[in-house]
Structure 1
Amino acid sequence: MSFYHNRLLEQDYYPVVRFYYYKEWEGFNMPNHSHEAIEIMYCLSGSCLIEVDGTTHKLKKGQFIFIDGDVPHRLFVEPGKSCRMSNIEFHFEELETVFPSFRHLVSEHEALRMLTESPKSYLLFHDSSDVFQCLNALILELDRKEDESVFTEQLLLGQLFIRMAELAAKQQNDTSEQHVYIQKSIEYMHQNYDRDIRVKDVADAVHLHPGYLHRIFKKAMGTSVNGYLINHRITKAKELLKRTNITITEIPHYIGMNSQQYFSTIFRQQTGSTPKQYRRESRYTDSRTVRSEHFKQQAK
């Protein structure tokens, strides 16, 4: 049963651990597989690759992945490297216990409710140690369990879910906040690209440290702040070359590049042609388009 199945919120079901381990993998290649149980894989040291639902992620110390039931996945540790991890697999059953059922936990905890309302085949987390402590306590309890009581196990599982849900909510808030900073950075560059601005100026404008802005910007946009600024400037330069008579020696000053040599070098890297060649070729193409349209009109 999926972690997000509607039945879990309509009837009284409880999570039950069916498999768990502490293990160190060395140069290991797990076959791709899936199972009904929901799985949490926590990296304690080293690193590994997790291929899940067709996407590969690198899992490092302090990171863990939550994989829903029946989702294809595999673990891969590169030759010569190792990864120590803890793991639990669980599913949901009907039990006789006084501990609140999963649906009651969801109804009482906002972050857990939000987590169940956003179905995903897997979730990747950067832990703040809270989840590790819950997971460690749970595995120790499972190791020394001597009676048939499930109360303590349910207590620890409930705590684990709540900490995981809180972490998911925090990461979502952080991502939303980062998106705002990135959008403000882009707006600032669009408004000031014609000035001699640097990454530090962009970071100051959005009140972030340049190193932090660089990290979140590159992760979200696939390019650095400086790379984005250069691309935007070259786009503007192409428009000026194509649509105005501004001299090529003046254009760098219109786009915030005060060095003619630097502008020409970057322009050629980005477009494969010099500014002069680009202007000549783009205007030739435009003139052919105009003549073509003229002949079309004459033919009507």
Structure 2
Amino acid sequence: MSNKNAEGILEYMYDNTHRKEPFMADLLFHIFPNENFIDLCLYQYGYEKCNPGHSFGPAARNHYLFHYILSGTGTLLADDTKGITQNYQIRSGQGFMIFPGQVTTYIADSNVPWEYLWVEFDGLRITEALSMTDFSKNKPVYHPHNKELRDKLADELMYISHHPKESPFHLIGHLYLFLDYLIQSAHSTQLLSNNKMSDYYIKEAINYIEQNFQNNITIEDVASVCGINRSYLGKIFKKNTGQSPQEFLMNYRMVKAAELLKLTSLSIADIGSAIGYENQLHFSRAFKNIYGVSPREWRNQHK
């Protein structure tokens, strides 16, 4: 990112497959207007086509800063965990992560200078999210394991840069998609080599349930998202949580149902629908199995 405070113009042409062909000014810079998001917040974002030898730094950031290289090449100088400056050569299709407080300098190549998209972000969930990847101050370079996911990541960054006038919620939604593609495409090889993939699968399963409990999802859907079969998911889930995936899903739904019963005036049928039960009788039976009373009785007791 340049230290010039300027704003360029970014335009797109879409073909029938909605792939984007960017026509860009040399610099695009935006500041996010709302910092009230806690789990994941966007601060600044943009695009730059650098001049040969263009550099930024040395500098330290208050938040995480990710660059994705669209074309060209350059050099990243970044302090590791011991404060020793390391040198990284980075090319198109790769990227780099700058951590809060990390001193870095990055320099465009003199012959084939890079152009990149960048985003500055932070939040309560970032440390947990990045723990599933290889990223650290000692490993700041983005080496995607999957080209399709890498391209989707770039698409999200491109979209955010092109739509600064969209609502904050709209942009944060696309930032979540970017982070998801980042995690998937840079998942930890150490996690794989240490035979701790079961922890990763369980975390992915719980995240999926938390985000989709209101939909008509099945345990097969959860296992599919994790890339494993239902039998194996059930085995590792029960071993690590003491519950089967089905029990966890039902308990999670009932906790949400109890919140709605206590805090809203929605009908029993609407609450059942809101947590994934289109049949009110099925919802009432499931709720009674967990709480010992019907949803209506529970609401009367907790008014």
Larger Rg: 1
Q: Same fold (TM over 0.5)?
A: no
Q: TM-score range by the shorter chain?
A: 0.3 to 0.5
More helix by share: 1
User: TM-score normalized by structure 1?
Assistant: 0.43
